[in-house]
Structures are given as structure tokens and as C-alpha cells.
Amino acid sequence: MSLLSSIVPIFVVFSLFQHQFIPQIRAFDVSQQFLQIAKSDEVFEWMIGIRRRIHEHPELGYEEFETSRLIRDELDKLGIRYEFPVAVTGVVGFIGSGEPPFVAIRADMDALLMQEMVEWEHKSKVPGKMHACGHDAHVTMLLGAAKILKDHSHLLKGTVVLVFQPAEEGGGGAIQVVDSGVLENVKAIFGLHVSPALPLGQVSSRSGTLLAGSGFFEAVITGKGGHAAIPQHSIDPILAASNVVVSLQHLVSREADPLDSQVVTVAKFQGGGAFNVIPDSVTIGGTFRAFSKESFMQLKQRIEEVIIGQATVQRCNATVEFSSKDKPFFPATINDNKLHEFFQNVAGNILGPTNVKTMLPLMGSEDFSVYQEVIPGYFYFLGMKAESNKKPASVHSPFFEVNEDILPFGAAMHASLVVNYLTELQGSETRSEKHHDEL
């Protein structure tokens, strides 16, 4: 073998290596700067202002009209094209070439029906409504990512789709976004949720099943009302409903595999309004959750059987309703395996490998799972626990607080994931084409 013939293959391998990996390295290099950009006084203060405006004016699912207007105003200022309305109040923006491939990042917009108990300058100005789940921060971080991406649009080897989604808290907003067709050509979608339990700047997720599938049920148990002093003349629906509640707990403790986590919780019990009157009916309701479709459907079947059966034993009638337009079923949140490896690489590059954790599955649910049924998707938690806050309030608590130092981390993570995804996707397609040419 001549010296030239031995050098040529080495040169070809080096050229291929250079062609395949230099674009990705450049994207990673820039993504490391995204966090510094997001932390700059200009961007950080801008995000804080947006988050506080949203927090002061919380809106429930499909009522996010002012939140939507704020988002559109900011996108207009940034010169970002968008579609509106999507799913009633939702906004979907586009940054990049406007051509394939497409990758999406999503933020939910809606607040909760609860009174804020945190006393601070920017407390909710709407009685009985509060951003107690961090959706105000989610919207802000996605707008922060949009600002970064717009300034670095030359790096986008395709198009980023910004999904500002309404009605995550049980309203099925993700279902309407999918049904709108706006995500039809999207290759992957990423989403995050703030976590008061994780230290600031730390992320946690896992490959495969992350969150449970969830459903709601409501039952009306009807008997015969009467005077509490002469119960023999009545048919007591409160007694029947009490037996139902106890029996429903046996579905998990005695029918479910202990290694297959499931939950049945009765969180609503309404009946009667006087101490000396047996009511005609009682309404109960709650949620049930499981990690697999099989277990979920088995729970659904058994919940109905137990409610009707126990009511019958107590001489009552019962009707059971499950999914509704306002409270649809959500499947389990299942992260794509390939996206998990990609996420760990990108997050480790920005935050440091020690700040990228693998978590156990949680029984909470997210309608982000709806996207994952039609698009490869990845969902993760971003920590915001401050060192000074030893016992932060959990989400859905009236004392929940967002540590605003989280905003730059979320914006940088969003921007970095999509820039690197499009770069990697282009690299894989180029390699595939080159390999085809060589054949």
C-alpha cells in the first residue's frame, strides 16, 4: 500500500468528522452564551416585568384574553410572526426560515381558581384567581427564549414554533392545539415546569414514563330525603356515599399490583345543608391516575362498578360520569428515549452535568402528554428553590411563590434545545444524503 493510499482514508474520515460535528459544536458554543444573555440586566428585567404583569392579572382556561394580548404585543415588538387565535386564546409564533424542519417549545398560560395568600407588591389583583402553578413564569420564559432566538435566527436550520397554550389545568388546551393542525409538520416538542423542590438551575426528568395518565369522575347518589330523627322513613344517600368512598380505596390497596402505581382520590363530597335533614342526593367526585392505559381503563371500569354496586346495597341509585369537554382524560406523559439523551447533553452543557438529574415517575399529570401521542416530545422540571427558602410552598398552594431567578435558566434552556435540535437534525439529514450519494 502506498503512502498516499493510506493518507486518503484518514483525510476523508477527518473531513467527515469535521462536516458532521463542527455545526453542532458551534451551536453548543452559542447555547452556553444564551444563559449569560438571559441573565443580562436588560433581558432579565424585561422578563421580570412581563411575569409580574401576568401574575397580577390571572385568567382561567380559555379566558386568557389579556395574557394572550400581552404575548402578541411582545411578539409584535420582536418582529415575530404568529397565528391567533389557536384553541380560543392560544398564540403560536414562528422564528427562523419558515421552512422545514419544525421544532416546537410550549408554555401554558392559565391560572387557578384560588385566592393568593402571598403578600407582595405584585399580588393577584383578581379576587379568587391566582397563578399558583408557575404558568406566568412559563409564558415569560418562552417569550425570553423568543427574544434570544430572534437575535440569533441565523443559527436556526429550520423553524422554531412557539406554542402559548391555554387551559392546561384540566381544560384540555393541548387537545385543541393539536386539533387545530398547527403542529402537523413538527418533528419534536419540548416543555418544562417550574419546581419549588429542586435547587435553582437544576433540571430533572427521565426517559419513558414521567407522569401519570389522569381522569376525573363525578357521581350522583340518590336516595330518599326525610327527617334525621326518623331515618327509617328515608333512604340515606350520605351513608351510601360514605360506603362508596371507603370501597373506592380498596381498588388500589386490594386490586392493583403493588408494583403498578395507581391513585384513586375522592376530593368532592356534597350533600345536605341542615343538621336535621337527610338529603335526597349526594354528589361525590375525584380523580384517578395510572401509568399505563390498561391500568387506567381498569380503574375507570371498577370505579363505576363500585359506585353503582355500593349505592345499590344501600337501596340508592347512582349515575357516574367521567370525561367531559371541561375535564378530558389525559394520557401518561412519556418522554421520547432519543430526546432524553439529547436533552441530557444540551442541559449538561448549559448547567453542568451535576445539575442534570434523573427522577422517579410522579403521579401528577400534564396535558403535554397529548402532544407526545402525535409528536416525539420531552418534558422536564426546572428547579427554582433558593438557598434561603428551606420549605417552599408546593404548586397549587395559595402560598406558592416563583423565584424569579429561574427566568433566565428557562429562557436559555428553551432556546438551546431548539437551536441544537435543528442543527443536529440537519447534520443527520446531511450525513444520510452523503451516505446515499456514496452508494
Reply yes or no: is the peptide bond before residue 101 cis, omega within 30 of 0: yes
The dihedral through the CA atoms of 345, 348, 353, 355 has a sign that is: negative
User: What kind and span of H or E run contains 124?
Assistant: none
Best CA proximity match to 363, nearest among 239, 256, 240, 439 = 256
DSSP assignment of 95-113 equals EESSSS-EEEEEEE---BS
**Is 165 within 8 Å of 71 (Cβ atoms)?**
no
Residue 34 identity? F
The 3-class secondary structure across 295-333, one letter per residue, is: HHHHHHHHHHHHHHHHHHHCCCEEEEECCCCCCCCECCE
The response to whether 55 counts as a known ligand-binding position is no
Rounded-to-integer distance, Cα 332 and Cα 213, Å: 4
**Is 57 within 8 Å of 182 (Cβ atoms)?**
no
The response to whether 435 counts as a known ligand-binding position is no
The response to whether 396 counts as a known ligand-binding position is yes
The response to whether 138 counts as a known ligand-binding position is no
Determine how many CB atoms are found less than 10 A away from the CB of residue 100: 11
The response to whether 304 counts as a known ligand-binding position is no
Rounded-to-integer distance, Cα 417 and Cα 420, Å: 5
Best CA proximity match to 371, nearest among 191, 141, 211 = 191
Binding site per annotation, positions for Mn(2+) = 133, 135, 169, 193, 396
Binding site per annotation, positions = 133, 135, 169, 193, 396
